[in-house]
Amino acid sequence: MSRFVRGTIEVAVAMAVRGTYTYALPEALAPIAVAGARVLVSFGRRRVTGYVLGPGAPPEQKEIKPVLEVLDDEPIFPAAMIPLFRWAADYYKHPLGAVIQTALPGGLTVAESPEWRITDAGRAELDADRLPAQEARVLAILARKRVGARLGSKVPREMLSSLERRGFILRTQKLQTGGAKALQVRWVRLAPGAPADSSLTPKRRALRDAVAAAGELPVHALAAQAPHVRSQLRALEGSGHVEIFERRLYRDPFGEAIIPDAAPMLTADQEAVVAGVCDALGRGFRSFLLNGVTGSGKTEVYLRVAALAMAAGQSVLVLVPEIALITQTERCFRARFGDQVAVLHSGLSAGERFDQWTRILNGQMRVAIGVRSAVFAPFSDLGVVIVDEEHDSSYKQEGGLHYSARDLAVVRAQQSGAVALLGSATPSLQSYYNVRCGKYSELTLPGRIEARPLPEVRTVDLRRCRDLRGPGRFISAELNRALAETLGRGEQALLFLNRRGFANFPVCSACGSAMRCRHCDISLTLHQAANAYRCHYCGFSLPGTAACTACGAGQIKRLGMGTEKVEAAIRALFPEARVARMDRDTTRHRGDILRLLKGLREHAIDVLIGTQMVTQGHDFPGITLVGIICADLSLSFPDFRAGERTFQLLSQVAGRAGRGDRPGQVILQTYNPEHFSIRAACTQDFTAFYEQEIAFRKALGYPPVTRLIQLRLSGRDARSTRQQALALGGELQALRAADAGFAESIQILGPIEAPVARIAGQFRWQILIKSPQSAILHRFVDQVLAAHPHGTTRQRVRLAVDVDPMFLM
Ligand SMILES: [Zn+2]
Ligand SMILES: [Zn+2]
């Protein structure tokens, strides 16, 4: 830990400003203002949180502002992580202070924001009724209460400063400390000694009965089912029928004790893989890609490698793509390593996350498991970084700091001299390309544990079912028969369709228009359970009884399908079966996923219908049949990764079958049985898929053979957004033409309107910049951004940068 006696320090401020700043360090603060500590500093007219990075540049003649306060007695991140933050800021074109803010657990930022209040002169002026209507309205609001930053965004700046100049209002700065505290959720249960319900209205009685049946349940779970639930509950609470209480959001996974396990015997393949990684541990940076078929026992390899690193006194970071998967991974790691395991994810309260963070920082926890943001876990002695399901696009953060946690994990391993171990049954093209280029070493697990066979995959051509009516259109005779046989044997089935809702293409029978979102350039999806049309992009919704959004006619045909429609069909075909659905609509709360997984494990569910949530590495030992309702949904996306995503999704879902002691079968329904992504998924032949796909990427010059940076423009006004996009395009072309190096290596695609041209009222344009050489590409974009330092072009059009974009929609 470096301590600076006096002089200056380098500080990154927690704001959207580029670069770092030098502050003078008063002698009294010097002992605690060490790298990794937070400080309070003046910035412009405000006081903001800053992060100490190290000694500052030697003071020049001009006056340097002093540090006002040191906010921590101990650093809140290790100095060893500063190079990672600097790398991420530079590579992802994001302000350094904002990168650190993203990395830290929430609730640690002290920010100052403006607050306006009315003065006595302002009150007198308001009473005298002499002001123009708009100014009077502002004063009237302020006469009732003080207003914060919101006011500045609603009222023109000139009017506010004019009112301020005339002495009618006063602007002050309010310091808001970010309080990291536990998240409480409101629950409801019957009140002890609740009165008889004879006097209740039918609605309230139904609600009371629902509470009685559940015992205890979160208020939001009830509120999601019907309107006005909250007020009805308040009334029931008032009349002494129910009581509402608070409970912490986080519960232990499964709420069960975890029984310590002993390491099982490894297969010869697992043994070889562990030995391969073991040789590299403690000898500097090395990257491995563990390519292992579904069910081949990758988790056991992770556990062994983690144990070896820990035995050598080093720490272990484990990334998984989704919160739902943490449960399973956490269970395995806790069973082996007990309470040395920390878990970091958004399901924890801010207080709990901060607690986990501090224990990692203090060296009390040697293993951390988490999603994306856990790549920033504050270890200073990393031995190995494990990225499970490395192909999963959930590792890419959209919005804010657009980072890839998988790529950052490799950079972090490199900077720490650690081993990076990326695992998948369907590696990303990027990672496998790195194997072929010699950047990563490949490790393989070619067979399932205990020599279980891979499931047999049968393809059904959906074109044959096109003219059928009813469920026969999407539940083929083959699938129907296989379901009947599976259920007859008392086994479980999984049906996969990567689209939620009931009908995703509701069409007016009078005018033929699709029901469209008011704010997006996209059609609405009908959700039958909620009896509503919903936009999956912005959340806009219309009641299920709504008339055509184009002509007002009332007859809407429910074309297109989603998991709800499949569920209804299965319930009709197999009324005896216990059917459950797992998609974003049925798993809004952490407990929901656990309940479904538990139901499957304990065989309280016969048929599970789900979206891609069910593909992500869950281990369902009782499932012997997997039905893929329509394999083609992701093929038609206007994205060069459509084939790769389809292959990964289908192989992963097929791999859910037959993971217990009984063999599995897969029925894959498709309109494109001869498409190579689908054929390769049927045989789970990754290499065949890779060879064909990489040839296509080479021919068209797409990643991984080139690098991409996408510039996105969005604005509320269609014309100015278009104009700014075209102007920026012109700027790029001029910059390219002016430099021989750029002209040779840089390719500019666009500006074009985004495939979804409007989302949430924002018109969207994009420019794709491509180059085989990463360094030149970054130099080019850095020059472009230097001309647009605030992330905007003119006329309120926002400019966002996405380095290595995953989604081109
Ligand atoms: Zn929308
Ligand atoms: Zn119509």
CA of 524 to the centre of ligand 1 (A): 8
Two structure tokens written together for 789: 């330092």
Ligand of minimum distance to the alpha carbon of 546: 2
Which DSSP state fits 46? E
Quick one: DSSP state of residue 625?
E
Q: How far is the CA of 517 from the centre of ligand 1 (A)?
A: 5
What is the distance in A from the centroid of ligand 2 to the CA of 567? 28
pLDDT at 183: 46
SS3 string, 123-155, reads: HHHHHHCCCCHHHHHHHHHHHHCCECHHHHHHC
| Residues pairing with 767 in the sheet | 711
C-beta neighbour count of 512 within 10 angstroms: 11
How much distance in Å is there from the Cα of 531 to the middle of ligand 2? 19
249 pLDDT band (50/70/90 cuts)?
A: very low
Q: Could you read off the pLDDT of 381-432 as tens digits, one per residue?
A: 999 999 999 999 999 998 889 999 999 999 999 999 999 999 998 999 999 9
pLDDT digits (tens, 9 = 90+) for 514-555: 898 988 888 899 998 889 999 988 888 999 999 998 898 888
CA 375 to centroid of chain Cα atoms: 14
Higher pLDDT, 84 or 235: 84
pLDDT digits (tens, 9 = 90+) for 305-321: 999 999 999 999 999 98
Find the 524 Cα to ligand 2 centroid distance in Å.
14
pLDDT of 771: 96
Ligand 2 centroid–CA 517 distance in Å is: 14
- What pLDDT, in 10s, does the model give residues 134-151? 888 888 888 888 777 677
- The alpha carbon of 554 and the centre of ligand 2 are apart by a number of angstroms equal to 8
520 C-alpha to center of ligand 2: Å? 18
- How far, in Å, CA of 313 to CA of 8, rounded? 36
Find out whether 236 and 242 touch, Cβ atoms under 8 Å: yes
Q: What ligand is nearest to the CA atom of residue 556?
A: 2
| Range 740-752 average pLDDT | 93
Residues 6 or more apart in contact with residue 239 via CB below 8 angstroms: 195
Cα(44) to centroid of ligand 2, in Å? 55
CA of 546 to the centre of ligand 2 (A): 11
- Residue 533 alpha carbon to ligand 1 centre in Å: 11
Selected residue with higher pLDDT from 241 and 790: 241
| Res. 131 pLDDT band, cuts 50 70 90 | confident
**In this structure, what token pair is assigned to residue 556?**
């809407």
Ligand closest to CA 542: 1
Ligand 1 centroid from CA 525, angstroms: 10
Q: What is the distance, to the nearest Å, from the Cα of residue 590 to the centroid of all Cα atoms in its chain?
A: 15
Q: Which helix (H) or strand (E) holds 436?
A: helix 429-436
Task: Tell me, in angstroms, the distance from the centre of ligand 1 to residue 712's CA.
Answer: 19
Cα-based distances in Å from 449 to 269, 297, 452, 615, 716: 9, 6, 6, 19, 55
Crossing angle of helices 686-700/429-436, nearest 10°?
90
Give distance in angstroms: CA of 545 to centre of ligand 2. Answer: 14
Q: Which residue has the higher pLDDT, 415 or 635?
A: 415
How far apart are the CA of 607 and the centre of ligand 1, in A?
32
Distance 759 CA to ligand 1 centre (A): 6
In terms of average pLDDT, the best of 356-365, 466-475, 731-740 is 731-740
Mean pLDDT of the chain: 86
Give residue 725 CA to ligand 1 midpoint distance, Å. 22
Which ligand approaches the C-alpha of residue 761 most closely?
1
CA 535 to ligand 1 center in whole angstroms: 5
Ion ligand 2: protein residues whose beta carbon lies under 5 Å: 508, 510-511, 513, 548, 550-551, 553
Q: How far apart are CA 295 and CA 621, in angstroms?
A: 10
User: Helix, strand, coil proportions of the chain in percent (round to 5)?
Assistant: 35, 25, 40
Taking 60 as the threshold, does the pLDDT of residue 453 lie above it?
A: yes
Nearest to 682 by CA among 672, 671, 668: 668
Residue-level pLDDT at 317: 97
Alpha helix segments (H runs only) across 195-296: 202-214, 219-223, 229-238, 268-280
- Residue 186: strand pairing partners: 246
**182, pLDDT greater than 60:** no
Q: Do 314 and 380 meet the contact criterion of CB atoms below 8 Å apart?
A: no
How far apart (Å, rounded) are the C-alpha atoms in residues 24 and 9?
6
Distance 640 CA to ligand 1 centre (A): 24
pLDDT surpassing 90 at residue 660 = no
Crossing angle (nearest 10°) for helices 405-416 and 82-91? 140
**Cα(227) to centroid of ligand 2, in Å?**
28
pLDDT of residue 262: 76
d(CA 507, ligand 2 centre) in Å: 8
Q: Which ligand is nearest to the CA of 758?
A: 1
Ligand 2 centre and the CA of 551: distance in Å?
4
**Contact residues for 647 (Cβ-Cβ < 8 A; gap 6+):** 426, 677, 678, 680, 681, 689, 693
Which residue type, as a one-letter code, is found at position 491? E
pLDDT at 250: 37
Report residue 703's pLDDT band, with 50, 70 and 90 as the boundaries.
Answer: very high
**d(CA 645, ligand 1 centre) in Å:** 24
Which DSSP helix (H) or strand (E) runs through 445? strand 441-445
Ligand in nearest proximity to the CA of 756: 1
CA–CA distance from 152 to each of 14, 158, 298, 383 (Å)?
21, 10, 54, 49
The runs of H, that is alpha helices, within 65-201 are 82-91, 96-103, 120-128, 133-144, 149-154, 157-165
The ligand whose atoms approach the alpha carbon of 550 most closely is: 2
pLDDT (0 to 100) of residue 742: 94
> Residues whose CB is under 5 A from ligand 1 (ion)?
517, 519-520, 535, 537-538, 540
Other beta carbons within 10 Å of 153: 7
> Closest ligand to 513 CA?
2
pLDDT of res. 338: 82
Q: What is the CA radius of gyration of the chain?
A: 29
Among candidate residues 642, 632, 580, the one with its CA nearest the CA of residue 605: 580
Helices vs. strands in the chain: H and E counts, helices first: 24, 32
**Ligand 2: centre distance to CA 547 (Å):** 8
Q: What is the pLDDT of residue 264?
A: 84
How far is residue 207's CA from residue 194's CA, in Å, rounded to a whole number? Answer: 14
**Token pair recorded at residue 185:** 């959720």
pLDDT digits (tens, 9 = 90+) for 28-49: 888 888 899 989 898 888 888 8
| DSSP helix/strand/coil, 338 | helix
pLDDT at 591 over 60: yes
pLDDT tops 80 at residue 327:
no
Tell me the CA–centroid distance for residue 469 and ligand 2, in Å.
24
